[in-house]
Amino acid sequence: MTGEMTGVIREVVDAVKFDDAGLVPAVAQQHDSGEVLMVAWMNRKAIEETLRSGQVHYWSRSRRSLWRKGETSGQTQRLVELRIDCDGDTLLLLVEQTGAACHTGQRSCFYRAARDGGLVVVSDALADPEDLYGQ
């Protein structure tokens, strides 16, 4: 890691306002299509690992562990650009998403919309979750 990269990481981490649990929400967006893929949580280490490796890492609140997106499913996220909002309490990750971002096999986690008839599924799954996580 170059000294310049270390400086950027420090500047980003210093700009983030982590919540009481040491976390910040991160929105992952496909960099070219603009599709919002998912929202997950990052801690300081997840931000550092993401910027250092170029592969998006999150903090799993349920498993209480650092997690490289796609480490089990192969559905990785390559970081294209990290942005931070005006008050530093949310991140926006522009990414290159391989395959399905959602554990259901959907490209995006936001596949249900409120329409006249109620909540409806508005897209088709790309993959069978069994194929992504099974065995």
Told to check if 72 binds a copy of itself by CB under 8 A, we report no
Distance of closest approach, residue 32 Cβ to a copy of itself, in angstroms: 10
Closest-CA residue to 129 (of 74, 76, 77, 79): 74
Residue from 84, 95, 127, 132 binding a copy of itself (CB under 8 A): 84
- Ramachandran assignment for 13, one of left (phi > 0), alpha (psi -120 to 50 degrees), beta (any other): alpha
Told to check if 132 binds a copy of itself by CB under 8 A, we report no
Locate 14 and state its tokens: 């210093």
Give the span between the Cα atoms of 37 and 78, in whole angstroms. 13
Told to check if 109 binds a copy of itself by CB under 8 A, we report yes
**Which residues of the shown chain bind a copy of itself in the complex (CB under 8 A)?**
4, 7-8, 11-12, 15, 25, 27, 29, 33-36, 38-39, 51, 81-87, 90, 92, 102-104, 106, 109-119, 122
